[in-house]
Amino acid sequence: MKTECDTKQKLLDTAMRLIWEQSYGAVSVDHICERASAKKGSFYHFFPSKSDLAVAAIDDHWRKLRPDLDRIFSPQTPPLERLAGYCEFVYEQQKQQMQRFGRVCGCAFTSLGSELSTQDEKIRKKSLQIMEWRCKYLAAAIRDAVREGLVPEQDCDAKARDLYGSVLGVLLQAKIENNLAIIRHLKPTIFRLIGVPEKEIAGAPSLHS
Amino acid sequence: MKTECDTKQKLLDTAMRLIWEQSYGAVSVDHICERASAKKGSFYHFFPSKSDLAVAAIDDHWRKLRPDLDRIFSPQTPPLERLAGYCEFVYEQQKQQMQRFGRVCGCAFTSLGSELSTQDEKIRKKSLQIMEWRCKYLAAAIRDAVREGLVPEQDCDAKARDLYGSVLGVLLQAKIENNLAIIRHLKPTIFRLIGVPEKEIAGAPSLHS
DNA sequence: TTTTCATTTGACTGATCGGTCAACTCAGGC
DNA sequence: GCCTGAGTTGACCGATCAGTCAAATGAAAA
């Protein structure tokens, strides 16, 4: 009980960072331990296996992300501003990764999901869960936009998934192109998908608060 | 010179199949050789390294894909039917993978790109190149749709990338959900993005030839 | 027939992989 | 002052990793 359990937290942080910047397959338990200044025995004291660590790291990363999403998608904010704010957040998050690592790293959750969902059911399930949670924020915003008459009537849950698909797609393109700029396409794209009038999309470039 | 160079082709086919079904990191050179009934020495006779094989396998897979895309995007076909046909093709391809492997496997090119573009520049570049080539088909279809007055004036190249982003996103979701059905969202989504009137999207469920 | 050379073979290397283990440390409760 | 048990340490395991190599094979060119 040397240093409480910040060894565990250090391992979670380091693992998420390395996997995000590289990939699950390219990061070994030894690398994680070395960068976290922990020994292998400690690793396997806290986590039964490498893939269990990955699941725990996803959970931990999501936990740290939730306050931001709760703020962005606050019902206090007009629904279309929530969506615009989310696009801005996605961009800023990638920009921050770019500054730290010098590369566009995409979405950590879905990178793991893409790499491992055909092989590791635990990670697939977890990745899927995060996807569903994120869609709930989008669905609520769309629903409120419909209620306020800003966009046409539509299947909000299904549309939220379409929107999230576009987010994932753009992040994947940005990662492969290593180009932040295309993330700026995100806001007009999702506005089009929910039927915001084209003239409102063209004008008002970013946030208009 | 036993069997001409079908050993090389066998290695390419096997590699693409295994990597598609699993991932680059999860598939070893030994696995590939075993499944291709080749020996390690043969592997390294044809390919200088594992990542060179991956690049070659992408090229080879693309080569085999082109005739289908040329047919689907034939200028003979009305532009919106080309896009609908492409959505159908994407669905059918995943369905075929599902039958062979029992799982939705997503887009092989971008799975590789997603996993390795932060680590292997050769693979990133190749993955990017394929992305650009595919966008050209989409851009041409959009351009023709604009010319025929089916959709509003727009930046066709930029929109093609947005569309392709949606394709990638949906495939990623389908892979993580292991669910073919959501790929059916693709056609209405990309039609919305290029501004096909909503009443035409709702009607005419699939191909209308 | 002999030469040539792309191809094939299988044994081999050293490094690294994920994971195990018994011994050790040390704060808190008794 | 001893005991307990969460946390730490570093040596260790067998398997597997990507990559090497010298020798063998055999079809086509000479």
Residue nearest to nucleotide C5 (CA to C1'): B1
At residue B49, what are phi and psi to the nearest 5 degrees? -160, 170
3-state SS of chain B: helix, strand, coil percent to 5? 75, 0, 25
- Of A102-111, B78-87, B167-176, B198-207, give the lowest mean pLDDT range: B198-207
Q: How confident is the model at residue B206 (pLDDT cuts 50, 70, 90)?
A: very low
Q: Say if A167 is an interface residue toward chain B (CB within 8 Å).
A: yes
**Burial group, residue B201, by CB count within 10 angstroms (0-12, 13-18, 19+):** middle
Q: Is the pLDDT of residue B205 over 50?
A: no
Nearest CA in chain B to A195: B192
User: What's the length of chain A?
Assistant: 209
* pLDDT of res. B4: 53
Q: What letter does residue A184 receive in the DSSP assignment?
A: G
* pLDDT of res. A202: 74
Q: Say if B102 is an interface residue toward chain A (CB within 8 Å).
A: no
Whole-angstrom distance, CA of residue B24 vs CA of residue B146: 40
Whole-angstrom distance, CA of residue A196 vs CA of residue A208: 15
At residue B183, what is the residue type?
Answer: I
Contact between A118 and A181 (Cβ < 8 Å): no
* pLDDT of res. B3: 54
B2/D29 CA-to-C1' distance in Å: 17
Q: Say if A7 is an interface residue toward chain B (CB within 8 Å).
A: no
Chain A interface mutation, best of B51, B126, B176, highest count of A Cβ atoms under 10 Å: B176
Q: How confident is the model at residue A208 (pLDDT cuts 50, 70, 90)?
A: very low
* Range list of H helices, chain A: 6-21, 29-35, 40-46, 50-72, 79-101, 108-116, 121-147, 156-177, 186-194, 198-202
Whole-angstrom distance, CA of residue A208 vs CA of residue A195: 19
Q: What letter does residue A22 receive in the DSSP assignment?
A: S
Query: pTM for this structure?
Result: 0.92
Give A23-54 pLDDT, tens digit per residue: 999 999 999 999 999 999 999 999 999 999 99
CB-CB: which of B110, B165, B193 is closest to A170? B165
Contact between B158 and A185 (Cβ < 8 Å): yes
Give B52-83 pLDDT, tens digit per residue: 999 999 999 999 999 999 999 999 999 999 99
Nearest CA in chain B to A103: B118
At residue B203, what is the residue type?
Answer: G
Nucleotides, chain C, CB distance < 7 Å? 6-12, 16-23, 26-28
Q: Is the pLDDT of residue B181 over 50?
A: yes
Give A133-152 pLDDT, tens digit per residue: 999 999 999 999 999 999 99
The tokens for A29 are 């338990």
Residue nearest to nucleotide C25 (CA to C1'): A2
Q: How confident is the model at residue A198 (pLDDT cuts 50, 70, 90)?
A: confident
Q: What is the mean pLDDT of residues A158-178?
A: 97
Q: How confident is the model at residue A206 (pLDDT cuts 50, 70, 90)?
A: very low
Residue nearest to nucleotide C27 (CA to C1'): A1
